[in-house]
Structure 1
């Protein structure tokens, strides 16, 4: 596969149908929404947009990337991603690929998820999850979790964080904004991911 590209795979044949060039050094997760695949690029601090039907690149624009090990989310008619290590969350309007709001959350925030009507962001430096109301673009809650939460997922009526230092998972009840369980999974260290379903 060529550098600085993503592959499109046919699930029926398990073969690569096409490779699509994007920005330099794609990183930090992928997201699907608004008929597009969204690809952050760490090498040139851009976000690429690929049309899902045609498989063609439709835009690459500058936004900044918070970290190579992070993620972005789609929800509330927007794309959400961290754009620096200082805690700047960008809200991008898919109608014109422009940043329409910047929300300041805790330093060292890298991973973003959407669900339960909110945007959720983990901070590995502050050991917490920020909850953002997309109607106001305001942080409405800061929730302490385990040490160095990097990855998170929203599903099964909860928000889940993978805490890298401890090798635990914190489960947050979005109705109360409280941790209702800490699960020992025994996988401390960098990397990893978490999903629900």
Structure 2
């Protein structure tokens, strides 16, 4: 998704005139990682946050208009989709320096690594394709045609399939990661923009921005098994480690909706700010839920047990993607 499209999708991408005030920091378990990485779309930077202190410890220049971000399983590299420069910036997390810039398709947005970290899948919104990047060589080894305007990509835990939210063709493309071909097309609602895979691989959760809902789609049957209304403008969906809850960033009302995946219903909501805060992307660990807020220039940190915002971290201008080191 291009930076222009991102501006149209969410109102008020520029930070509010008043400086955001950080809430008092509370203790959140850092069990699932040491650092959080946030892409700042209008600053061309990535903010690096220490999960123990919830403080920004580095701000790293990357490619133009960075969007999606993924961290390698060994934590040594982060991969950033630079939408404006049609490349992936490879960040060495030990030095906080970009060590490679890999050309991909046009308008790269969402990125996801294979479970073993060997391959990075990049959704190219302007090329209607997914680039497959070999992380050992930092070279693109395949370009897979998918639907129109792909925004995000998710890989199953067994690494066998990659699911691509094609916002322009109302579908989810399924890539066989062995053959590197699109082998199926699943229903995605009216405008699918976010997708995640259940731990058992039997279903996917698709955020439909226009329909204001999340669709649950069976990966074997290819049918929608449930549709969960969440509010105006859901843009991203992420599952907790145990798969029992799905967390949805809902742009319009400035909230995160929590879906009980067993009952397929909203079991709770978390207000992260007023309308215009624009919660955008979500990353979930066992101890925290991290939500970028484009309109506020902040990262909200939510305790998944209490569903309370425990702190708000000021980052760069128009934060987009978020990922946590393992």
TM-score band by shorter chain is: 0.7 to 0.9
Query: Which has the higher Rg, Structure 1 or Structure 2?
Result: 2
1:103 aligns with 2:233: no
CA contact (8 A) 1:163 1:188 kept: no
Aligned counterparts of 2:320 and 2:208: Cα–Cα separation in 1: 21
1:94 maps to: 219
1:126 maps to: 253
Aligned counterparts of 1:183 and 1:16: Cα–Cα separation in 2: 35
Aligned counterparts of 1:119 and 1:156: Cα–Cα separation in 2: 13
Aligned counterparts of 1:42 and 1:60: Cα–Cα separation in 2: 13
1:161 to 272, 291, 295: 291
1:74 aligns with 2:203: no
Secondary structure at the aligned position of 1:6 is classed as strand
TM-score (norm 1): 0.88
What are the Cα deviations for residues 70-122 of structure 1, in whole angstroms up to 9, with x where unaligned? 42111254211122424111001111222111011111111101115310001
Aligned counterparts of 2:211 and 2:187: Cα–Cα separation in 1: 17
1:13 maps to: 137
1:179 maps to: 309
What are the Cα deviations for residues 110-169 of structure 1, in whole angstroms up to 9, with x where unaligned? 110111531000111111110010010010001111321111110251001111111111
Report the Cα offset of residue 24 of structure 1: 2.1
Aligned counterparts of 2:145 and 2:177: Cα–Cα separation in 1: 14
Matched residue count:
192
Secondary structure at the aligned position of 1:181 is classed as strand
Report the Cα offset of residue 45 of structure 1: 1.6
Unaligned runs of 5+ in 1: none
Residues 153, 85 of structure 1: alpha-carbon distance in 2 compared, 3 angstrom cutoff: same
Report the aligned-residue RMSD: 2.0
Q: Does 2-11 or 148-157 show the bigger shift?
A: 2-11
2:147 to 14, 23, 40: 23
Report the Cα offset of residue 182 of structure 1: 1.3
Aligned counterparts of 2:222 and 2:189: Cα–Cα separation in 1: 13
Unaligned runs of 5+ in 2: 1-104, 107-126
Secondary structure at the aligned position of 1:194 is classed as strand
Aligned counterparts of 1:24 and 1:62: Cα–Cα separation in 2: 13
1:113 maps to: 238
CA contact (8 A) 2:190 2:211 kept: no
1:193 aligns with 2:321: yes
1:141 maps to: 268
